Homo-oligomer: A and B are copies of this chain.
Amino acid sequence: MLQIYTGNGKGKTTASLGLATRFLGHNKKICIIQFMKKNIEYGEITFFENIPNIDIIQFGTPDFVDKKNPKKIDLEEAVKGFHKAKEVILSKKYDLIILDELNVALDFELISPEEVLPFIKEHKDDLELVITGRYAPAELLEIADLVTEMKEIKHYYQKDFSAREGTEY
């Protein structure tokens, strides 16, 4: 079963983290692979670190990726991330696997859809698979079982543009 959370609004990654808490409550095993994020002090990393039955692994760098001119390391990390995703999917050890921001990695062409789509299509019914991020490619939406668009209706005006602890990370 493939679920996709996309759109320009808040709540895509957090909806997947919330699903993880539900699965944990049912004694299931979860793996979260985060793309385009590394060494950033996300609250979920610190929190889930000490929780049994859930693994969370980041690929990327702490820097923003330039869509028009991604660095070699950005491509390498995304490819490594998807290799890890394949490995955990094939291991059949997990009930829920979340590929956080994979949509963006695809849209930025850090990984090729030819590598990702056939694999996802073949294995999505073996487990609960969640893919998040803006710009979900049409081919992925097509094979998904459930698609939710998070739509920004209203957004506070931040005086400074620093992210707020807890809410944004």
Interface residues of chain A, those whose CB is within 8 Å of chain B, are: 1, 3, 5, 7, 9-26, 28, 42-48, 95-96, 128, 141, 144-156, 164-167, 169
- Are B148 and A11 within 8 A (Cβ)? yes
- Are B153 and A151 within 8 A (Cβ)? no
- Are B149 and A153 within 8 A (Cβ)? yes
The residue from B11, B21, B151 contacting A44, defined by CB atoms under 8 A apart: B21
* Bound-state Cα–Cα, A144 to B42, Å: 25
Given A149-B9, A149-B153, A151-B7: A22 touches B42 (CB 8 Å cut-off): yes
In the complex, chain B residues whose CB is within 8 Å of the CB of A154? 141, 144-147
The residue from B13, B18, B42, B147 contacting A153, defined by CB atoms under 8 A apart: B147
In the complex, chain B residues whose CB is within 8 Å of the CB of A24? 43, 47
- Are B10 and A3 within 8 A (Cβ)? yes
- Are A19 and B26 within 8 A (Cβ)? no
The residue from B15, B22, B45, B146 contacting A155, defined by CB atoms under 8 A apart: B146
Given A148-B152, A166-B128, A167-B128: A25 touches B10 (CB 8 Å cut-off): no
- Are A26 and B10 within 8 A (Cβ)? no
* Bound-state Cα–Cα, A145 to B138, Å: 31
- Are B11 and A25 within 8 A (Cβ)? no
* Bound-state Cα–Cα, A128 to B145, Å: 33
